[in-house]
Amino acid sequence: MKIKQASVPSGKSNNKGAADNLMPGTALLRHREWRGPADTLYDYTKWAELWGILIRWFIRHPLQNSKALLRYRWMFTYVTVPAFFDRLCAGQKGACLKASRCNLNHMASSVTDVLTTIFSADLHLHPGSRKAADLSQKIILFDELLPALIGKGFPGHKTILLQMYPMFIPSLINQHTPVHYITQTESYGLPADVCPLPSFEAGLAIDDDYPKIGCCMVTSNMPCDGSIMTTMLQDRRIGLPTHPLNVPLRWKRPEVQSYAVDEILSAIEFIEKQTGTKCDWDALREACEVWNGQNESKFEKWEMNLTDIPPHTGASVWMYRVYEHQAACGDPKTLKNSRKVNRILQKQVAAGKCP
């Protein structure tokens, strides 16, 4: 059966979309998006605040950050963050715009803080530095798909998701970022049909593009069999004492609950052995209470989005949630931001109208 294509009217269309505000061949805006006086001013203020976060981060350690930009290919992706955030907020107004900008700027602040810790301890950037080596020994590495909450039981140490900052976030900002590293993995002999996430991780290890940090690492069997296959490549390059924390695939079944608890306890025992410190169960409990508050905040958002006027939609919702769930779980600052966003959304729902 032959399908007739819809006819396209001749001449220029009067319909304007978000892409019409982009410079040809780029993802750069010709000018700030007009959203009405109040929302345009708010958006511009938050955009300026974002630049403030990035500039302050760079000038704190200009030499160190410059060396990181030159050493790591994936670092150049972060240079495009302001344009990336603009695209995520395109067309938004009112509570949705405010919530998005609050979430994104909080992520920017959190990520730059972690990058400062990573680069300050990175022996690729500071070879032979005793100060960097001592800081590195205070870092516990986790696989990016393991929430960092367990590490809160060791308040004298930093818990960092190794692949989150060179792999996961850059791939969200620019989907072309993984191509080079996946090519490296396939050139090394791994099958081309492996899930691109662990293939990207392995490519970073092959290219020696992971920061050289940490006293030990906790890995996992997540998200798929491909990650189990590529773990050996990462383990070989990273060269740290490693412990696999296996996540049950059928995690809701009663019979696996005791197994899951044993896995967590074994990971804590491993960290205690490598760090030479005992788990602070009170600190871990406090972090879990913060995490419970973060989850309550998430459920409140879901309830508001079930109304006839869902106040917060778009990529900033799920991207913030992924980062919160993995890297910022148990973080009081992130909980404070989540509650602030909820108050903004609640006003929009109470008003009962779209912005």
Task: List the single range of 22-31, 88-97, 261-270, 290-299 with lowest mean pLDDT.
Answer: 22-31
Is 258 part of a structural domain of the chain? yes
Tens digits of residue pLDDT in 207-233: 999 999 999 999 888 777 667 777 777
Closest CA to 177 of 162, 166, 192, 161: 166
Residue of 11 and 181 predicted with greater confidence = 181
Comparing 7-16, 265-274, 335-344, which segment has the lowest mean pLDDT? 7-16
The highest-confidence range among 27-31, 36-40, 135-139, 200-204, by mean pLDDT, is 135-139
User: What is the rounded average pLDDT of the residues 279-288?
Assistant: 96
pLDDT at residue 27 greater than cutoff 70: no
Average pLDDT of the residues in 128-148 = 93
The pLDDT confidence band at residue 112, using thresholds 50, 70 and 90, is very high
| 17 falls within a domain | no
> Which of the pair, 33 or 336, is modelled with greater confidence?
336
Residue at 76 is within a domain: yes
Q: Give the CA count within 13 Å in the CB-facing half-sphere of 245.
A: 24
- For residues 264 and 249, what is the distance between their CA atoms, to the nearest angstrom? 15
Residue 9's pLDDT is: 44
Any domain includes 5: no
Predicted confidence at residue 16, as pLDDT, reads 64
Count other Cβ atoms within 10 Å, centred on residue 15: 6
What is the C-alpha to C-alpha distance for residues 98 and 121, in angstroms, rounded to an integer? 35
Indicate whether 11 pLDDT > 60: no
Inside any domain, residue 195: yes
pLDDT > 70? residue 18 = no
Beta-carbon contacts of 115 under 8 Å, excluding residues fewer than 6 positions away, are 57, 68, 78, 165
Q: What is the pLDDT of residue 15?
A: 52
Which residues does residue 216 pair with via DSSP β-bridges, in sequence order?
Answer: 140
Answer yes or no: is 27 within a domain.
Answer: no
- pLDDT at residue 8 greater than cutoff 60: no
Reported as a single tens digit per residue, the pLDDT across 119-132 is: 999 999 999 999 99
User: Which has more confidence, 28 or 273?
Assistant: 273
Q: Does residue 21 sit within a domain?
A: no
Instruction: Give whole-number Cα distances, 231 to 38, 170, 267, 328, in Å.
Output: 50, 20, 17, 24
Q: What is the mean pLDDT of residues 15-35?
A: 74
In the predicted model, what is the mean pLDDT of the chain?
89
Q: State the residue range of the domain holding 144.
A: 37-349
C-beta of residue 312 within 8 angstroms of C-beta of residue 104: no
Sheet-wide strand order for 242-245: 158-161, 139-142, 216-220, 242-245
Phi, psi (rounded to 5 degrees) for 161:
-80, 110
pLDDT above 70 coverage of the chain, percent? 93
Per the structure, the count of domains in the chain is 1
Quick check: 19 and 87 in contact, CB under 8 A? no
Does residue 9 lie within any of the structural domains? no
Q: Which pLDDT band, with edges at 50, 70 and 90, does 286 fall under?
A: very high
